[in-house]
Amino acid sequence: MHLEHLLTEEQRQLRQTLRDFTRKEIIPITRQLEEDYSLVEKVHQKLVDMGIQASGYPVEYGGGGIHSMTNMAIIAEELSKGDAGMALSACSNTAGAGPAAAVGNKAILDRFAPLFCQGKLAYACLSMTDEAGGADTENPLLYGAGIKTTARLEGDEYVINGSKMWPTHGGIAESYITFCNTDPSLGDDGIAMIIVPRDAPGLTFGKPEKKMLFKTVINASVYYDNVRVPKEYRVAGPGMDANLCYMLTTVAGWSGGVQALGIAERAFDIVLEYTGNRMGGFKPVRQHSMAAGIIADMAIGIEMMRASLYNLAFIYDHPDIYGPIYGAAWSPELIAKGAAARVFAADTAVEIINKGAELLGSMAISEDFPYEKCLRDVKICQLWLGGQQICRYKVARGYYDLKNWA
C-alpha cells in the first residue's frame, strides 16, 4: 500500500490494471521477449488496445487528453517490474506530441497526433544524442553549442544535416523529435526542436545497436542528409525550443528514474522470495541478520526513490501550486529537482540491486533466473541523457551560477 491518499480513483485503477498486465503478459515471457521482437510488438499492441498509447494525445485527435506525470509514473513503474525497455517504449509513444501540444503547434499535431490515436502501435523517437559528443547535446552549461546537428531556414523549409546515435525507436518511429542548432553563436536561442516524419527524403537509419540491456527496445542511428521539412515543424521558435529541450530531457531522465524504481522493486521481490526458501546455516537465508540488513537497505532505497519520484510528479501535475510547466519557462530550479530525482534513483537502484545479488549466490547471474536481467537493465538509468555527470551539473545549476569551464 502506498500513495493511496495522493492518487485518484482512476489512477489507482490504472495501477492495478498495469500491475495485473505485467504479471500475466510480461513476467512469464521476459526471456522470449528479449529474443523475439515480434513478440514485443504483440504485447505493445495489447497496451495500445487498452488505450495507453493514445492517452497522452489531445482529445480532438482521438486521444485521451491526459497530461499527467503521475499517470506516466504509474505506467513506467508498473511495466518496468516486467521489462523496463517496454516501459520506455510505452512512455515514449504516449508522450510523442508533448512539446507540440504544450505550445499548441497545430501543424505538428495535425500531421502526427492521429498516427498515435488509430488503435495501431506507432513509435515516437527522441532524436537528440549527436554522434559527435553525445553528452554535449544534453549539457545545459554549453547553451546549445554542443548540438552539432544543424538546421538552416531556406524559404518555407528547414534543411537539417547531422547524425544522431542511439535514439530509441530509430528507424521504426513515425516521428523524430530532433534537437538541432541554427547558429551556435546564439546560445540557447540557436537551439531548434524540429519534428521530422519518417518518410522525409534524406532521412536514413543505421542498424539496430547490439546491447546487453534493454533488449526489447530498438536503438539505431538517425542520419540527416539535407532533410527538408516545413518550417511549421519547428515546435516553437527561438528561446522556447531550448526551454522545451530542457523540459524534455529532464522529464525523460525522471521517467528513467521511475524505470529504475520498477527494476529495483522486481529485484527486491526476487530477493525476498528466494532468501525465504533458500537454506543456509540451517535456516532461510533471510533469517540471518546480515541478510536482513541488506534486505532492509533495499527496502529503504525503494521507499525513498518512490517518494522523491512521485513527489516530483505531483509538483509537475499541480501548476496551481507550483506554476505551470507546459509552455512555461522551465527554471533551473525545476530542472534541478528533476535531475536530482533521476540521479538519486539511478544510483540507488544500481547500488541496491548489486547488493541484493550477494544474497542470491551464483543464481544472481544465471540466465535461467530472473535476477540477471535486473542487474543488466538498471545500468542504463545512470548512463543515458548525458550520464550522472551532466545531470549533476543540472542539479548544481539550480542552486548557483555554475559556469562551463572548458
Ligand X SMILES: Cc1cc2nc3c(=O)[nH]c(=O)nc-3n(C[C@H](O)[C@H](O)[C@H](O)COP(=O)(O)OP(=O)(O)OC[C@H]3O[C@@H](n4cnc5c(N)ncnc54)[C@H](O)[C@@H]3O)c2cc1C
Element (H, E) at 192: strand 191-197
Q: Which of residues 101-130 bind ligand X (CB under 6 A)?
A: 126-129
User: Could you tell me which stretch among 19-27, 134-142, 147-155, 269-277 binds ligand X (CB under 6 A)?
Assistant: 134-142
Q: Which of residues 175-214 bind ligand X (CB under 6 A)?
A: 211, 214
Nearest to ligand X of 100, 294 (CB atom): 100
Task: List, in sequence order, every residue forming a beta bridge with 152; answer none if it has no partner.
Answer: 159
Question: Minimum Å distance from CB 176 to ligand X?
Answer: 10
Closest CA to 58 of 14, 108, 15: 108
Task: List, in sequence order, every residue forming a beta bridge with 157; answer none if it has no partner.
Answer: 154, 230
Question: Minimum Å distance from CB 303 to ligand X?
Answer: 27
Let me know the angle formed at the C-alpha of 48 by 42 and 52, rounded to the nearest 5 degrees.
135
Nearest to ligand X of 133, 319 (CB atom): 133
Torsion of CA 38, 40, 43, 48, to 10 degrees: -90
* Using rule CB under 6 A, residue 387 touches ligand X: yes
Nearest to ligand X of 230, 387 (CB atom): 387
* Using rule CB under 6 A, residue 386 touches ligand X: yes
The DSSP 8-state label assigned to residue 204 in this structure reads E
Tell me which of 120, 365, 389, 399 binds ligand X, using CB under 6 A: 389
CB-based contact 173:53 (threshold 8 Å):
no
CB-based contact 312:254 (threshold 8 Å):
yes
Tell me which of 80, 94, 139, 182 binds ligand X, using CB under 6 A: 139
Question: Minimum Å distance from CB 402 to ligand X?
Answer: 11
| Farthest CA pair distance, the chain | 79
* Using rule CB under 6 A, residue 356 touches ligand X: no
Q: What is the DSSP string of 69-128?
A: HHHHHHHHHHHHTT-HHHHHHHHHHHSTTHHHHHHT-HHHHHHHGGGGSSSS---EEEE-
Question: Minimum Å distance from CB 383 to ligand X?
Answer: 6
Q: Which of residues 215-274 bind ligand X (CB under 6 A)?
A: 217, 219
Nearest to ligand X of 121, 346 (CB atom): 346
Task: List the grid coordinates of 238.
Answer: 527561438
Q: Which residue is nearest to ligand X (CB)?
A: 134
Q: Build a one-symbol-per-residue string for 140-169: x at contacts with ligand X by CB under 6 A, - elsewhere.
A: ------------------------x-xxx-
User: Could you tell me which stretch among 10-18, 135-143, 237-245, 333-341 binds ligand X (CB under 6 A)?
Assistant: 135-143
Tell me which of 21, 223, 330, 384 binds ligand X, using CB under 6 A: 384
Nearest to ligand X of 62, 387 (CB atom): 387
CB-based contact 86:272 (threshold 8 Å):
no
Closest CA to 90 of 72, 66, 108: 72
Residue 72 CA to residue 253 CA, distance in Å, equals: 13
User: For binding to ligand X (CB under 6 A), which residues are involved?
Assistant: 126-129, 133-135, 138-139, 164, 166-168, 211, 214, 217, 219, 380, 384-387, 389
